[in-house]
Amino acid sequence: MSDIRITINGQARSLNVPSMKRLLDVIREDLQLTGTKEGCGEGECGACAVLMNGELVNSCLVPALQANGASVCTIEGVAIDGRLHPVQQCFLENGGAQCGICTPGMILATQHLLNKYPRPTYEQIQEGLAGNLCRCTGYMRIFESVCKAAEADYLPDRGKA
Partner 1 sequence: MRSDVTQFELTAPATLTEVLRRLADNPGRHTVLAGGTELMVALNTGRLATHSFLSIQHLRELRFIRETPDTIQIGAGATFTDIRGSKIICAELPLLAQSASWTGSVANQNRGTLGGNICNASPAADTPPALLAYDANVTLISAASMRELPYRDFHLGYKRTAMRSDELLHTITLPRIYAGHRQYIRKVGTRNAQAISKVALAAIALVEAGRIIDIRVGAASLADRPLRCTAAETVLIGQTIGGEGMEALVRKARAALAGEAEPIDDIRSTAKYRIAVGANLLEEFLRSL
Ligand X SMILES: Cc1cc2nc3c(=O)[nH]c(=O)nc-3n(C[C@H](O)[C@H](O)[C@H](O)COP(=O)(O)OP(=O)(O)OC[C@H]3O[C@@H](n4cnc5c(N)ncnc54)[C@H](O)[C@@H]3O)c2cc1C
Residue 103: strand, helix, or coil: helix
Query: Per-residue DSSP letters for 47-61?
Result: TTEEEETTEEEEGGG
55 lies in the site for ligand X, by CB under 6 A = no
Judged by CB under 6 A, which of 1, 5, 20, 43 binds ligand X? 43
Question: Alpha-carbon dihedral of residues 24, 30, 31, 32, nearest 10 degrees?
Answer: 90
Stretch 91-130: interaction string toward partner 1, x if CB under 8 A: ------------------x--xx-------------xx-x
Stretch 67-106: interaction string toward ligand FES, x if CB under 6 A: ------------------------------xxxxxxx---
* Residue 86 neighbours by CB under 8 Å, 6+ apart: 149, 152, 153, 154, 155
Spatial contact of 95 and 54, defined as CB atoms under 8 Å apart: no
In the region spanning residues 139 to 158, those forming contacts with ligand X, defined by CB under 6 A, are: none
127 lies in the site for ligand X, by CB under 6 A = no
- List contacts with ligand X (CB under 6 A): 43-44
